[in-house]
Amino acid sequence: MNNIFKFSFYIFLTLAFAWLAFVVGAKNQYGDLEPTAESLEEDGSIAPDADLFPKAMSGLAQLGAKEYLSLGCATCHTQQVRSEEAGFDVERGWGKRPSVPRDYILQDEVLLGHNRVGPDLTNVGLREYSNEWLHQHLFMPQSIVEGSICQPSPFLYETFDESEENTIETTLDGQQIFIKPSLRANRIVAYLESLKQDYELPEIAFSESIDDADLVAEATDTNESATEDSDTAFPTWLASQMDSGKDIYQKLAPGGGMCVTCHMPTGLGNKTAGIPPLAGSDWVLGDKERLIKISIHGLMGEIEVNGEKYIGAMNGFGQTLAAPLDDNQISDVLTYIRNEWGNSASSVSAEEVAAVRDEYKERPITQMWTTAELEKNPASD
């Protein structure tokens, strides 16, 4: 005890042991969980056509998670359904099953929380709240839930006396008013709508206390609302562009871009195969003209994305894949990749694509760009 160095060393050790166990131990145990199918084949493999869970949130919802965090909603709301031995959460209807570690692996912000002044929100996306209700609630919970102490966020809305485009009717102090959600409010609501653990995993099945018939009904319900969700989260014009973009991104048949085969459903690419990520990429979020050029003619050579170097080549989609993409399709898929996986940037219009195509119509369609060329030739945006 009398030698400060020895003493410091011992008390350092006391911490280090606990840290090693909890961090290194736990990381080894479940740090490399991956999305998986609801149930595995007999040999433990994943069926090739199986849907994988958990699914990544939409880009809008991921941004919503950040807003939710920054407003401190987690001081009152947890996001964990406790196991049935440890709590009453399933009984209370807060989830169809307890949460497991795998449910959270794709979330940037894991907000388990440990105070429940408000109800648990793990599955708030499964409750039958309309998009409007969630906005009304976010704006002023007291106006629709009497006696609520959920914190109002009127600063996220513009208020009007008359109905206008994209406004939602609600009441404030007993008076009818109309509110227009800001981008931030839309993000939060998209996030809330995306909160759902409505799938089973090999390690956890739905709790038995839940009626089977209920479950089927609810499952179809949620599927419907899931497709609706992405619509309602964006303004209509953007939503349709996003939908079609997503389609092109994923489609392997003519009319599709097959992007998914290389850049993966997560937008994270594949480092070992030399495929750069699209999520968070400057190339995607930055200068539009440059992005359009890459899309039309393709790209080859060394490229640095998110601080990592990749070498490879990608054909332009202006040239024949299965069938070339037209201006509309390119603008849709670019809009989509600029707003998915946490990306958020302005949309790309067909006119912009047409303008670039026109400007470089002399360039052979098969001549891919190199990064050197693109940098030498800084485009004006």
Partner 1 sequence: MKKTSEQHIDQSAKLAFSFFIASAGLWLLAAALLAYIAAAKLTDPLFLASWEIFTYGKIKIIQANAFVYGWGGNSIFAVSLWIIARLSQSLIRGSTFLIFAGTVWNLAITFGLFGILDGYMLGHELLEMPKEVWPALFVSYLVISFLILVVFRSRKQSTTIAPQWFIVAALIWFPCLFIFAWSGLEINPGRGTLSSILSIWFGQNIIWLWLTPVALGCAYYIIPSVLNRPIDKYYLAIFGFWCIAALAPWSVVHHLEGGPVPMWVPAIGTVMSIAMVFPIAVASTNFHSTAFQDISRVWNYLPLRFVIFGTLSYTISSYIGVIFSLPAVAKLTQFSIINEFHFNQRVYGFFSMIIFGIVYHILPQITGREIGTAAKNFHFWTSAFGVFAILLAYLIGGLTHGVLAQQPSLEWVTVIESVKPYFLITEYAFIILGFSQLVFVLNLWKVLVPNPFACCDSGAKQKTA
Q: Which residues form the interface with ligand HEC (CB under 6 A)?
A: 68, 71, 73, 75-77, 117-119, 124, 127, 137-138, 141, 145, 148-151, 153, 188, 192, 257-259, 261-263, 274-278, 281, 283-284, 291, 294, 299-301, 303, 305, 310-314, 317, 333, 337
User: H-helix or E-strand containing 191?
Assistant: helix 183-194
**Dihedral angle, C-alpha 37, 77, 71, 104, nearest 10 °:** -20
Spatial distance between the Cα atoms of 308 and 175, rounded to a whole number of angstroms:
55
Q: Binding partner of residue 37 among partner 1, ligand HEC, none, CB under 5 to 8 Å per kind? A: none
150-158, 162-170, 289-297, 336-344 -> range binding partner 1 (CB under 8 A): 150-158
Residue placing its CB nearer to ligand HEC in the complex, 40 or 365 = 365
Q: Give the shortest CB-147-to-partner 1 separation in angstroms.
A: 5
Q: Binding partner of residue 14 among ligand HEC, partner 1, none, CB under 5 to 8 Å per kind? A: partner 1
Q: Which of residues 208-237 bind partner 1 (CB under 8 A)?
A: none
Query: Is 271 one of the binding residues for partner 1 (CB under 8 A)?
Result: no
Q: Give the shortest CB-48-to-ligand HEC separation in angstroms.
A: 19
Among 51, 155, 160, 323, binds partner 1 (CB under 8 A): 155
Residue placing its CB nearer to ligand HEC in the complex, 57 or 278 = 278
Query: Is 202 one of the binding residues for partner 1 (CB under 8 A)?
Result: no
Beta bridge partners of 204: 201
β 369-370/298-305 pair status = parallel
DSSP characters over 107-146: -SS----S--SSPP-TTGGGSS--HHHHHHHHH-HHHHST
- The phi, psi pair for 349, rounded to 5°, reads -105, 160
* Among the listed residues 250, 234, 370, 266, the one whose alpha carbon sits nearest the alpha carbon of residue 52: 266
User: H-helix or E-strand containing 315?
Assistant: strand 308-315
Q: Give the shortest CB-115-to-ligand HEC separation in angstroms.
A: 8
Query: Tokens 């998915």 sit at which residue?
Result: 340
DSSP state of 230: H
**Dihedral angle, C-alpha 141, 145, 150, 153, nearest 10 °:** 0
Residue placing its CB nearer to ligand HEC in the complex, 112 or 311 = 311
Residue placing its CB nearer to partner 1 in the complex, 117 or 217 = 117
Query: Is 50 one of the binding residues for partner 1 (CB under 8 A)?
Result: no
Q: What track of x and - describes contact with partner 1 for positions 78 through 107 (by CB under 8 A)?
A: x-x-xx-xxxx--xxx----xxxxxxxx-x
